[in-house]
Structure 1
Amino acid sequence: MVAATSSTAPLPAIYSLSPPHGKITADNHGGYVVICGWIMMCFFTIGVLTRLLTRTIPVVTIGLDDIMSGLSMVFGIAQTVVIYISAVNGLGQHQSSLSPKSFRTYATSYYAANILYFLAVYFAKISLVMIIMRLSPAHFVQRLCVGVLLFITAWILAEIFAFAFQSPTPQAWNYTQTRRGGVNVPALYYTAAAGDIVSDLLVIILPAYVIWQVQISMKRRLAIISVFFVRICVIICSIIRIPALIHYVTSTDRSWHAVGPQTWIQIIQCLSILTACTPCLKPFLEALESGFMDLSLGQIRGDTYRAHSGVLETAHSSGHAGQKSSGTSSSTPTKRKSRLSSAGVANNDDESYLMDCLSSEHPHNGQAFLGTASRDQEKG
């Protein structure tokens, strides 16, 4: 009697709720993209906010590179939200099982997610280049960075334009169209993947080349380069994604086979944004204060980050002392004064000790001073 009564009792309200979005079943793998997307979004959001926090406490010193990093976070969040909408409406399901309304929502969301992805990684890459530009006013480095920025910008504009018009208008999102006017889809995706890898290589090689020219200890040089070289993980993920991408672009059931490449896209986007933040974290900056970025970072970040820059400040004051004294040219203060003056540092405090050796105006004097400063620091 009790059993019969309990069997007819109404079920709790929780049993009437619909399944959660992103549920993984035998015929729906979109949940893999949703899970990966949300987790990756949390990671890169924390990374960018940490970077911006180190730029605002204790003094506000946000630069253009930080703004670019913030934009990459905004576009990355937007891309994650849009790809979630796509997964809810058909990504990871067989195309034949989708209603016309679901297919339209899935296809338009996936179309928009590709554009947002390009913008997110673009701003992450140029933020890294702008870090080098911010640290060094040397003309040679500035010209080199501008060249890399122009290449990356040209690449992103070409890719956005190609993806925006990959299918005939006005339904450019509808890749199932049979009308003429579309692009070669495999070539489009392969070119985009190659452009990603090449631009990431440039972003890695640029700071490595610049720092390699500086006369500092090999240990410190390799340590600094490794902070930028960590971006190699983005290239590795881009290469791993290629087999899944080949399977996707040659498939007639793209909504089903989009899970693999799109999951890797979420990982690549996260790593691209995160690795653009690593050189700007406070522990990294503090570790470098006694090294080659003393004055350039001190001028940018204020007196808070000048506490340990005694060596370079001593060299600077020695230069002024040499101007007041009438010592011979063989004395150490006079030598340092001439090096500072010829490198353009004593007359312009905004000039960076790091990159002045790369300037075409005074290559030898700048290198000599950097070598002296580095040796003094190692002795200290």
Structure 2
Amino acid sequence: MIKVTSTNRSPVIGILAWLFLVIAILAGAARLGIKYAITRKFSMDDYLIFIALVLSVLQTGCLSIAVHNGYGRESKASSHEELETAVKAVYAAYMIYITCLSFAKLSALAFMTFLMQRTRKMEWVFTGLVVAWAVTAILAVAFQCGFPEPWNFLSHNCINREAWWEYFGITNIMTEIALIVIPSMLVFHIQMADAKKAVVIGCFFTRVFVVVAVVLELVYRDRNKNSTDPMLGTWEVAVCTQMIQCFAILAACIPHLKPFMDGLQSTGLRLYYIEGETSRRGDYEYGSRGKTIGHELSGLPGVVNKTTVVAHQQQPDWDDALSQNSQSHIIRETKTWVVEEQYHPEGSAGEGSAGESSVSGSRASRIIDRSSNDGRELHGSP
């Protein structure tokens, strides 16, 4: 049995790495399961977070190989072959780690653009920045050291890795703060109860845990930058990177939990697919075409009757909404109700009274038509 000592921290890295991976997988499975149970399909943000989950599994596997070959313990306790395998595994793990973070951010960004119900220049710019950030980071790690061994960070023919990771951490924090502020400002301007608004914004603020983990990573990197044995001295950094990866996936999954989505739906956004509706836009179906719905109402005890209610919902007159007048931002909805009641007089109690004539087996019916103008008005901002 391997013991944890001051010169061997590899068991700590291995155990915590797999623990964080399990948490990330459970969060991702819960998100995808809830989404499929509600909509019976997946959207772009779901595919992106699924890719992030697959990458997190691969990254944890690479890190486990590095731990098994001496990462986290003194270099002199490992053979030359083990050290070479360990640095190659760490090299691959860091590139997969950057890619995983990027897909988790893109998934959160895709969900944010849905909340805005359109993709503006700001969202395209933000997406481009995240992609450029990821590509440059992967290239920097790929060529961090000179050829023919660019993975060998134990050699002295490398770039200033401490300065590079400091830049990477700061830019990572900046993107996380943007993913907190932008959707929170969007929800802040939505008319809804303060309590629900606080819950929704609080879900976005869970990304603060990612920021805290990145700050811890930067602190430990600065503390161990002059370590004479990088294989042992960076074990705390390795734990922090696994924590960041887990929290990034977790933060992208929390806004998809059902209580949070219920709170958003109360604001008027259609986040769930409602059975019987057809939508003009896929993904979360927040708009539907006109439809006709029929309901049967049961009769009173002792009376043989049957009542059918048919409702037809018409489309709003969008042409009126385009006119530049005082009515331009009012959406009206008109509903027509048809109530049809059929009954058999001989089936009711108290029939056959004096002065009334009846015909055996006769059937009376009446139809009531009523048109009403729904008084609900939705006021949009100019």
* Map of 2:19 onto structure 1: 39
Structure 1 301/202 Cα, relative in aligned 2: closer, same or farther at 3 Å? closer
* Contact 1:248–1:261 under 8 Å retained in 2: no
1:210 aligns with 2:220: no
Is there any run of 5+ residues in structure 1 with no aligned partner, and where?
Answer: 1-18, 306-315, 347-367, 372-380
- Tell me the TM-score normalised to structure 2 length: 0.72
Give distance in 2, aligned partners of 1:137 and 1:147: 17
* Contact 2:272–2:285 under 8 Å retained in 1: no
Q: What SS does structure 1 have at the residue aligned with 2:224? A: helix
Structure 1 284/98 Cα, relative in aligned 2: closer, same or farther at 3 Å? same
* Map of 1:252 onto structure 2: 228
Residue deviations 1:133-161 (CA, integer Å, cap 9, x gap): 223333xx532222211111111111111
The count of residues paired between Structure 1 and Structure 2 equals: 305
Q: What SS does structure 2 have at the residue aligned with 1:231? A: helix
Is there any run of 5+ residues in structure 2 with no aligned partner, and where?
Answer: 289-311, 335-377
Q: Which structure is larger by alpha-carbon Rg, 1 or 2?
A: 2
* Map of 2:304 onto structure 1: none
88, 91, 94: which one pairs with 1:108?
A: 88
* Map of 1:198 onto structure 2: 174
* Contact 2:70–2:86 under 8 Å retained in 1: yes
* Contact 2:98–2:134 under 8 Å retained in 1: yes
| Bigger strand fraction | 2
Q: CA deviation at 1:50?
A: 1.1
Q: What SS does structure 1 have at the residue aligned with 2:330? A: helix
Q: CA deviation at 1:319?
A: 7.2
- Tell me the TM-score normalised to structure 1 length: 0.72
| Bigger helix fraction | 1
Q: What SS does structure 1 have at the residue aligned with 2:154? A: coil
Q: What SS does structure 1 have at the residue aligned with 2:331? A: helix
Q: Which amino acid aligns with 1:30?
A: S
Q: Which amino acid aligns with 2:131?
A: T
Structure 1 176/112 Cα, relative in aligned 2: closer, same or farther at 3 Å? same
Matches within 5 A, 1:115-126: 115-126=95-106
Q: CA deviation at 1:225?
A: 1.4
Give distance in 1, aligned partners of 2:23 and 2:196: 28
* Contact 1:54–1:281 under 8 Å retained in 2: yes
Moved more, 207-216 or 264-273: 207-216
Q: CA deviation at 1:302?
A: 5.5
Q: CA deviation at 1:288?
A: 2.7
Give distance in 1, aligned partners of 2:380 and 2:11: 54
* Map of 1:369 onto structure 2: 379
Residue deviations 1:201-248 (CA, integer Å, cap 9, x gap): 111112112223333344333322111111111101211222211133
Q: What SS does structure 2 have at the residue aligned with 1:187? A: helix
Structure 1 322/274 Cα, relative in aligned 2: closer, same or farther at 3 Å? closer
Identical-pair percentage = 23
Give distance in 1, aligned partners of 2:318 and 2:101: 50
| Higher relative contact order (Cα pairs below 8 Å, separated by 6+ residues) | 1
1:293 aligns with 2:269: yes
207, 220, 244: which one pairs with 1:231?
A: 207
Structure 1 323/145 Cα, relative in aligned 2: closer, same or farther at 3 Å? closer
122, 130, 137: which one pairs with 1:152?
A: 130
Structure 1 259/178 Cα, relative in aligned 2: closer, same or farther at 3 Å? closer
Moved more, 152-161 or 290-299: 290-299
Give distance in 1, aligned partners of 2:217 and 2:155: 26
Give distance in 1, aligned partners of 2:206 and 2:97: 21
Give distance in 1, aligned partners of 2:230 and 2:146: 18
